[in-house]
Amino acid sequence: MTGLADSASQTPALAPLSLDQALALYRRMVLIRRFEDTVQVLFQRGEVPGTTHLYSGQEAVATGVASILEPRDRVAGTYRGHGHALSLGVDPQALLDEMLGRASGLCGGRAGSMNVIDLAHGLMGCYGIVGGSIGAATGAALALKRSGGVAVAYFGEGATNQGYFHECLNFAKVHNLPALYVCENNLYGEFTPMEDVTAGRIVARAQTLELPAETIDGNDLWAVRAAAAAAVARARDGGGPQFIEALTYRFVGHSRSDPGAYRKPGELDAWRQRDPLKLTRAGILERYETADEAQLDATDADVERQIEQMIAAGLAAPYPTPGPAAEFKA
């Protein structure tokens, strides 16, 4: 990869994770991957209404950033937001029930895939409008400036070509807002390669406005955690808005009907060699003397059991009663 050394001022070193903490983050990444696999299968069976946009391949970004956040912080996700939600600790059963349109869903079965919200876990919402999260997080940061919280916006590289990307970053800089803008650059805006529609370096757009900004390996959990920790600390301490461009890749098509035939030959295979789950497994085995494959395999098996139980419970749950929306868990 290129462009992984763009400048951002440094903060004190991030405390290392314990083995238990590292395994917990790995488990969350596996849960996100298996959740998305499950949603895809259930959608193909006709169980999931509406549409779906999966987060498969990008798990290290949301998991790494969320591992740094505090309860007072707020997050705005994208229409590819299942991973953003699960990284924050949103109840996976309630999220799956929401995908299935059931009354036990996170939003009473009425939000569907693109519009989930869980204020109890700091998720302000996921936005179907490209870049909608940028405006939402900027507004939240204006309020959080009084409380010490930080607002995080996730968005794809295509959103950086929207006018309000520049407007919001400019507003945040002028008002010194505690915001972290995380561009999940997966190289494609729907079906269009980034280089066909985007001039220059994305990170340079933030640097032009004098935001501390850097480009990182978005498939490396430890790299994401380190960058997020530094950026969140600066934002929380009055350093104003921060910007991270996380280079990553989605392993699936843009949405339910996209086979990804536009990919360059061999590109998907090359990126699968850098699967964030594989990299995290390898990182745990390398960093912790007491870690072994059996622990990681047991984590995989535990998630698999959880997913099977979730599927059975979700499909057995009732649909919402027609009429005004009942109270939900936001």
* CA distances to 34, 111, 242 from 37, in Å: 5, 20, 33
Could you tell me if residue 195 is inside a domain? yes
Other C-beta atoms within 10 Å of 180: how many?
Answer: 29
Q: Dihedral of CA 6/24/279/288: which sign?
A: positive
Rounded mean pLDDT, 149-176: 95
Asked if residues 126 and 81 have their Cβ atoms less than 8 Å apart, the reply is: yes
Q: Which of 143, 113, 146, 108 is nearest to 128 (CA)?
A: 113
pLDDT at 258: 60
Could you tell me if residue 93 is inside a domain? yes
pLDDT in tens, 272-286: 899 999 999 999 999
- The CATH number covering residue 202 comes to 3.40.50.970
* pTM tops 0.85, yes or no: yes
Q: Which of residues 327 and 79 earns the better pLDDT score?
A: 79
Could you tell me if residue 330 is inside a domain? no
Q: Is the pLDDT of residue 5 over 60?
A: no
Could you tell me if residue 94 is inside a domain? yes
Tell me how far apart the alpha carbons of residues 30 and 22 are, in angstroms, rounded to a whole number. 12
Mean pLDDT of the chain: 90
Contact residues for 185 (Cβ-Cβ < 8 A; gap 6+): 156, 157, 194, 202, 218, 245, 246, 247, 248
pLDDT at 254: 60
| Structural domain for 127, as ranges | 19-273+295-316
Could you tell me if residue 310 is inside a domain? yes
Q: Is the pLDDT of residue 149 over 50?
A: yes
Confidence of residue 181 (pLDDT cuts 50, 70, 90): very high
Q: Which of residues 264 and 224 earns the better pLDDT score?
A: 224
pLDDT in tens, 122-139: 999 999 888 899 999 999
Q: Is the pLDDT of residue 195 over 60?
A: yes
* CA distances to 45, 212, 255, 321 from 315, in Å: 12, 46, 23, 16
* CA distances to 77, 91, 224, 271 from 212, in Å: 21, 34, 15, 28
Could you tell me if residue 196 is inside a domain? yes
Could you tell me if residue 120 is inside a domain? yes
Least confident of 52-56, 152-156, 210-214: 52-56
Among all chains, which residue has been given the structure tokens 């179907």?
Answer: 128
Could you tell me if residue 281 is inside a domain? no
Q: Is the pLDDT of residue 1 over 70?
A: no
Among all chains, which residue has been given the structure tokens 């650059």?
Answer: 185
Asked if residues 47 and 123 have their Cβ atoms less than 8 Å apart, the reply is: no
pLDDT in tens, 273-319: 999 999 999 999 999 999 999 999 999 999 999 999 999 999 999 99
Asked if residues 150 and 236 have their Cβ atoms less than 8 Å apart, the reply is: yes
pLDDT at 196: 64
Per the structure, the count of domains in the chain is 1
Q: How many residues does the chain have?
A: 330
Rounded mean pLDDT, 242-251: 93
Identity of the amino acid at 269: D
Among all chains, which residue has been given the structure tokens 């530094």?
Answer: 230
